[in-house]
Each structure stands twice: as structure tokens, then as C-alpha cells.
């Protein structure tokens, strides 16, 4: 083989692409096998983001120790007062901030920051969870609307309750005398309680069958709606076939048997 031929072979091997053709059924099967893991990962996206934010806050204030921050009220306004050397902080270079200050709220410090973080976490997790269920409904031929609605309803309830539990725990810790003076403590507690509450609610749901009960309720509702739709369509068709009865809808119908 000449040098030119060897160069051509190497070039072809370098540019070689292998395509794997997967059927829709195989793709669907693969997705269903991984769905639970995908959803579990989606539910933990926000706690991971919050943990990163908490780590940045701990680094900003110089560790996880008491007497770092204090909440004080002057008049009708609440302030977050930072202790220690301001020059050592990269973001929070001041010593006193309004509790509504965007930087303070963004870093989940103080009541406003805890509540805003909980709201943001609810939105992120809800969007991901609902998106997964809608995607599942679209690609799966055997999926039922009642099943999707039942799962989405319980998911939103569980996400909301875990967010509320985390926020309540964070606010309670923030009001404590000693541990509340640790800048990152309320936020860390809020993250931990939110995750634990979500885990507990999942276990309660599995034990009590709340999701399955909702799926059955939505299925029954669907049957009733189908019956209403059928009766309405049948009556409209009857009126279309007997237009002389239309005035009877709006008043007495004289001369017609049964009215």
C-alpha cells in the first residue's frame, strides 16, 4: 500500500461516524426504565443549586460560626447587620443592609431571602416535574390523561408542602438567638428540612396511595364528562332533526305532546 493510500485510509478512519438506529419502541422502553431516576434527579436539581448557594454564602462570611449576622428593626424597617471584617467579604462589603436588599435576598439571608428561595425552588421543581409527566404522556401510547393529572396534582402538592416546611424551618432557625446568628444556618436548615419533607411525603404517598386515588378520581370525572358530552351531543342532534322544538327551550310549548 502506497503512502497516499495509507493517508487516505487514515483520513477515512478519522472521519468515520457510526450511527445507531433505534426504534421508537426501544427508545420508549429505555425512557420508561430510566424515568424514575430522571424524575428523582429533577426533584434534586434545586436542592443542589441551593447547596451551591449556601457554600458560597459560607465562604463569603468566613465559615459556619456564630455572631456573624444579626437582624434588627429600626422603626418600620428590618435590617441585616453583619459582624466581622467587611474587607474580607467579596460581595457583602457593607455592615448594614435592608432585609429587602436585592443582594441580601439573592444570597438567601434573612426572612425575605429564605421565602424567595423557597418560592424559586418550588417553581423550578414544579416546572421540571410537570414537564417530565407531560413528556411521558406524549410519547407513551398507553398513557392516560387521568394518570398524568393525578401524578401532576400530587407532585405539586408535595413540592409545595416541602417548600413550605423548609421555609418555616429556616425562618424558625433565623429567629433563634445563637444559631440564628450563623449567617448560613437558616438557609442550610431550610434546604435540609425541605429535602427530608419531600422524602417523607413520597413515602406517605406510597403507603396511603394518594396518587392512585387521584388517578381513579380523575378517571371517574372523565367518564362523567364523557357522559355529559354524549347527552349534550344527542340532544343537539335531536333539536337539529326537530327544529320546531327549539322555541320550547325558551317558553311554553303549546300543541306539542309532552309539553
Q: For residue 10, is it within any domain?
A: no
**How do strand 69-74 and strand 77-82 relate by DSSP bridges?**
antiparallel
Q: For residue 249, is it within any domain?
A: no
pLDDT at position 256: 55
- 131 close to 155: Cβ distance less than 8 angstroms: no
Provide the residue range defining the domain that includes 125: 25-238
Instruction: Provide the whole-model pTM.
Output: 0.74
pLDDT at position 163: 93
pLDDT at position 37: 86
Q: For residue 80, is it within any domain?
A: yes
Q: For residue 12, is it within any domain?
A: no
pLDDT at position 259: 45
Instruction: For the chain, 259 residues long, give each residue's pLDDT as a single digit of tens.
Output: 566 767 666 776 677 666 666 666 776 777 777 888 888 888 889 999 999 988 888 888 888 777 788 888 888 888 888 887 777 888 888 888 888 889 888 888 888 889 999 999 999 999 999 999 998 888 877 888 888 899 999 999 999 999 999 999 988 888 775 566 688 888 889 999 999 999 999 999 888 888 999 888 888 887 776 777 778 788 778 777 877 777 776 666 665 555 4
Number of domains in the chain: 1
Q: For residue 255, is it within any domain?
A: no
**Given its phi and psi angles, is residue 258 left (phi above 0), alpha (psi -120 to 50 degrees) or beta?**
left
Q: For residue 254, is it within any domain?
A: no
pLDDT at position 118: 92
> Half-sphere exposure of residue 196, counting CA atoms within 13 Å on the CB side?
10
Q: For residue 253, is it within any domain?
A: no
Q: For residue 251, is it within any domain?
A: no
Amino acid at each position: 500500500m502506497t503512502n497516499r493510500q495509507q493517508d487516505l485510509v487514515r483520513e477515512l478512519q478519522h472521519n468515520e461516524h457510526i450511527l445507531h438506529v433505534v426504534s421508537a419502541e426501544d427508545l420508549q422502553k429505555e425512557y420508561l426504565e430510566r424515568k424514575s431516576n430522571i424524575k428523582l434527579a429533577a426533584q434534586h436539581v434545586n436542592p443542589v443549586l441551593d447547596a451551591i448557594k449556601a457554600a458560597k454564602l459560607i465562604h463569603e462570611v468566613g465559615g459556619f460560626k456564630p455572631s456573624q449576622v444579626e437582624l434588627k428593626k429600626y422603626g418600620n424597617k428590618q435590617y441585616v447587620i453583619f459582624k466581622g471584617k467587611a474587607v474580607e467579604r467579596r460581595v457583602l462589603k457593607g455592615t448594614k443592609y435592608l432585609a429587602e436588599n436585592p443582594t441580601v435576598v439573592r444570597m438567601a439571608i434573612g426572612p425575605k431571602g429564605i421565602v424567595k428561595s423557597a418560592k424559586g425552588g418550588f417553581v423550578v421543581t414544579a416546572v421540571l416535574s410537570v414537564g417530565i409527566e407531560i413528556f411521558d404522556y406524549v410519547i407513551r401510547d398507553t398513557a392516560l390523561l387521568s394518570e398524568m393529572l393525578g401524578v401532576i396534582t400530587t407532585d405539586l402538592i408535595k413540592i409545595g408542602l416541602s417548600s413550605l416546611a423548609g421555609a418555616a424551618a429556616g425562618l424558625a432557625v433565623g429567629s433563634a438567638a445563637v444559631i440564628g446568628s450563623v449567617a448560613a444556618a437558616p438557609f442550610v436548615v431550610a434546604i435540609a428540612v425541605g429535602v427530608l419533607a419531600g422524602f417523607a411525603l413520597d413515602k406517605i404517598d406510597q403507603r396511603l396511595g394518594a396518587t392512585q386515588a387521584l388517578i381513579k378520581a380523575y378517571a371517574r370525572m372523565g367518564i362523567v364528562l364523557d357522559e355529559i358530552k354524549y347527552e349534550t351531543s344527542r340532544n343537539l342532534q335531536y333539536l337539529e332533526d326537530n327544529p320546531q322544538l327549539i322555541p320550547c327551550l325558551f317558553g311554553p310549548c303549546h300543541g306539542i305532546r309532552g309539553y
